[in-house]
Structure formats: C-alpha cells, structure tokens
Structure 1
C-alpha cells in the first residue's frame, strides 16, 4: 500500500510529459499533454492514416519503442520509416532497395539511428507481447519507453468480441502501470454513423469510437484526413488531466504528407495580392 505522498514521489518521473513534436504544435495548443506511462488511444475511420500518424509520432520522439504492427506489413512499416527519414516516396524507397548498391545503403543508413523495434505477428497475442518484452529486457536491461499496438481489433479474439476488446484495454493499462511505458493503441471509429456521411473529413466524436473504448485510456485522440486538401485534423476527445471535447468539434489541424509519411504545421500567412485575406499554407517538411 502507498500513501499519497509516497505514491507521488515514486511516480512523478513516469508522469512527465512526452517529448514534443514540432508538427503537433496546434495539438499542444489545445491543451493536449501526452505523458509517460499513460495509455493513449488514436481512433479514426478507415483510411485516415492512423498508422502513419502513430509511426511519425514515435519516430519523431525516437524513444525506445516496441511497435506491434499487425495492420502494416514488415515492408510497409520499414519503407515508411525510410521514406520519413529521407523524404523520398515509398515508391522511391522500394525502387532503391531493389536496385541495391549505394541506393540500398542510403536507406539502411537513414534507419541506423532509429530506436523502433517491430513485431509483425498477426494476430497479436499476449504471449507474444510477454516474449517480446522478455527479449527487450534481455538486450537492454530495461522496459521500452513506448509500446504501440496497431491495432486493437488485431488482437487475438478481439476482431468483434466486445468482452475481449475490454480485456485488451484492461491489460494495456496494467502493462503501462507495471512497466512505466506509454502504451499507444490504435482503434477504429464507425464508418456507418450519420456524421461519417455528412462530415467525413472531420474527426469522429467520442460516441462514434467502436465499443465506447475511447473512454478507457487517459488520453484519446480522434483523427481524420481530408483527401483533397490533405489537412489532418486531430481532436482530444478524452483527457484525464486536461481539456477535451467529446464532440470532436474543436480540433487541431496540420498538414499530412502521405507520400512520405510526414506531418507538418500549418502557417498563417497573408496573401501579398490581397492583404486582408488569410490563407493557410504549409511550412514545408521538417528536417530529416
């Protein structure tokens, strides 16, 4: 048993904020404060770059990360990382790896400093999670700082079973508390809700997240991609230690670059030909 003072002393370090990512400036401006040791959900409809968003986030933080990727293949995940690091498209990465020689070495060198370790088993099982964690401890004598599950419905038995999905969320919470790792879990929102048809490019509200499971994590983010403008919208629909909007009507906007799996800030500039007109334009890609 722990009294409040002892609990605060022991866990103050694990509750500190995660490293900030420059592209997420608008999200932080909403009061979003992701922390070490939390369970974080990223929820969105199909085709909204959830995996790309999660991969970019952990790559930019570059903390020791164990990424369970049942949704992305080994080539897709690794080529996205190489694309992100070099700003070459995934098609260029694929061609370069096939060409071999200096092209292949360029991409391998770009990934040399990455702290992400992948596990590609599908479906994800808790036995596999235990085995990967044991191997991690054997190699580095500590737990990973971040564990990503992509995604919740790719866990064994959780494809459509609500009870099993609840068990996954419960186990994810236990994992975060036992290891101090930030657990990021991806999940789907309904494609059949009325809002999915009337406002398909806006983030889904909390009640549209399948199974109501966005209420379980400390932080739940709702994401959407406008395929025409490539604006990426992120709403904070649940935050235990800060502001949130369950309706997802208040959201941060950034630019998505899907061809290189990158995100960047939107910058407010005045058009030189029309001084009173405000126009949003991207700042450009971040340095690799």
Structure 2
C-alpha cells in the first residue's frame, strides 16, 4: 500500500517520456507523449507498414528492446534494419549478404550498434515470452526497456476470439507494470468499414480497431499509408495523459520510405481529413497546421 506521494516518488522515473525520434516531430507537435512503462498500440489496416513503423521507432530510440515477431521472418526483420542503417534497399542487402566478403561484413557492422533482440515464431505464446525474458535477464541482468509484440492476433487463440484478445491486452499491461518496460503491440483495424472504402488513406478511427481493444492501452495510434504520395498518416485515438481524437480526424503526416524501412518529416506536419472542420469539443487539439521551415 502506497500513499500518493510515495507512489509518485517510486514511479516518476518509469513515467518519463521516451526518447524523441526526429521523423515523428509532427506527432509530438500534436501533444503526443509516449512514455516509459506504457502499453502502446499501433493499429492499422492490412498493408499499412505497422511493423515497419514499430521497427523504425525502436531502432531510432535504440533502447534495449526485445521484439517478438510472428508477422516478419528473421531475414525480413534483419534486412529491414540493415537497409535502415545503410540506406541500401532490401534487395541490395540480400545481394550483398549472398555475395559475402566485405559486402556481408559491411551490413553486419551496420547492425552491431543496435540494442534490438528478436524472438521469431508463430503463434506467439506466453510461455515463450516468459522463457525469452528469463534468457534476456540472464544475459543482460536487466529487463528490456521496450517489448514489442507483432502482432496481437498472432497470439495463440487470439486470431478471432475476443476473450483471448482481451487476455492478451491484460497480460501486456501486467507485463509493463512488472518489468517497467514500454510494451508496444500491433493490431488490425477493419478493412470492411465504410471509411476503408471511401477514405482508405486516412487513419482508422477508434471504433474501426478490431474488438474495441484500442481503449485498453495508455496510448493508441492508428496509421495509414497513401501509396500514391508515400504520405504516412498517424492519428492519436487514445492517450491517457494528453490530447487525443477518437475519430482520427486530426493526424500527423510524415513520409514513408518502404524500400529503406525509414520515415522522414513531411513539409506539412499536421493534417485533417476534413480541412475546414473544427476539432471536436474537448479534444485538446489546436486547429493550427504546423509547417516545417525550409
């Protein structure tokens, strides 16, 4: 049992803001503040670079990270990181690794500084998570600062069972509390909603996230990729300690470079899916569009 003062003193460090990523400046400008120890959901429709977004995020922060991937193969994940670090396409990475010699060594050297550890396999099982965490602590004598689950529906039994999906979210929250790690979890939004057909490049609203599970984490982001311009749109549909917009009508825009698994700032950082529509009452959003300098 803790008094409010003792609780604040003991947990102030765990609630500090995560290191900022320059490409995400538009997101921070909207008041989004990802923090240590939170559960963060990244939700989007199929093919919207959710895994690439999460991989880029953790690589740029470069905090000690344990990444559970059921959605990417070992080669896909590692080649994406090598591409990100060298600005060579994944095809070039594949060719260089096959060539061997100095080309292979260059890619291995590019990855040497990263603090990302992977666990591959599908489906994801909590027993595997426990075993991997035990091995991580045995190796590093500390818990990872970031744990990534890619993705929620790849957990055993959670493909379509709402009860199992809720159990995954509860366990993820318990894991974050027990370890102090930020837990990122990817999830799907509906491809059958009316908005998915009429406005597919806008981030899905909170009610389009499957199972309504975006309400559980401290922070939920919804993402969408416009393949015609490579604009990557990110909305904050839930934030416990800051402004959010469950309709996803306001979103930050950055540029996605899928061939390098990279992101960069766009000229116009804040967007709205309805340009002349005021922000929802009480949402906390500023109606101002922030522009980057030249």
| Alpha-carbon displacement from aligned partner over 1:139-187 (angstroms, at most 9, x marks no partner) | 1111000000000000010000000000000000000000000000000
Q: State the aligned residue count.
A: 272
Offset of 1:3 from its aligned partner? 1.2
Q: Distance in 1 between matches of 2:222 and 2:10?
A: 32
Mapped contact 1:89–1:260 kept (Cα < 8 A)? yes
Query: 1:197-236 residue pairs with structure 2 within 5 A?
Result: 197-236=197-236
Show the counterpart of 1:120: 120
Mapped contact 1:264–1:282 kept (Cα < 8 A)? no
| Alpha-carbon displacement from aligned partner over 1:49-78 (angstroms, at most 9, x marks no partner) | 000000000000000000000000000000
Show the counterpart of 2:29: 29
Show the counterpart of 1:189: 189
Query: 1:75-224 residue pairs with structure 2 within 5 A?
Result: 75-224=75-224
Show the counterpart of 1:8: 8
Question: What stretches of structure 1 move > 2 A for 4+ residues in a row?
Answer: 280-283
Partner secondary structure for residue 54 of structure 1? helix
Partner secondary structure for residue 260 of structure 2? coil
Offset of 1:282 from its aligned partner? 11
Partner secondary structure for residue 251 of structure 1? strand
Show the counterpart of 1:277: none
Change (3 A) 1:281 1:75: farther
| Alpha-carbon displacement from aligned partner over 1:231-280 (angstroms, at most 9, x marks no partner) | 00000000000000000010000000000000000136xxxxxxxxxxx9
TM norm structure 1? 0.93
Q: Distance in 2 between matches of 1:124 and 1:30?
A: 34
| Alpha-carbon displacement from aligned partner over 1:96-155 (angstroms, at most 9, x marks no partner) | 000001110000000000100000021110000000100011011110000000000000
Query: 1:241-280 residue pairs with structure 2 within 5 A?
Result: 241-267=241-267
Partner secondary structure for residue 144 of structure 2? coil
Partner secondary structure for residue 259 of structure 2? coil
Q: Distance in 2 between matches of 1:78 and 1:158?
A: 26
- Please report the RMSD computed on the Cα atoms of aligned residues, expressed in angstroms: 1.3
Q: Distance in 2 between matches of 1:215 and 1:23?
A: 26
Q: Distance in 2 between matches of 1:267 and 1:110?
A: 29
Change (3 A) 1:281 1:261: farther
Show the counterpart of 1:53: 53
Offset of 1:281 from its aligned partner? 9.9
Q: Distance in 2 between matches of 1:76 and 1:162?
A: 29
Mapped contact 1:255–1:282 kept (Cα < 8 A)? no
Q: Distance in 2 between matches of 1:73 and 1:41?
A: 21
Q: Distance in 1 between matches of 2:133 and 2:63?
A: 16
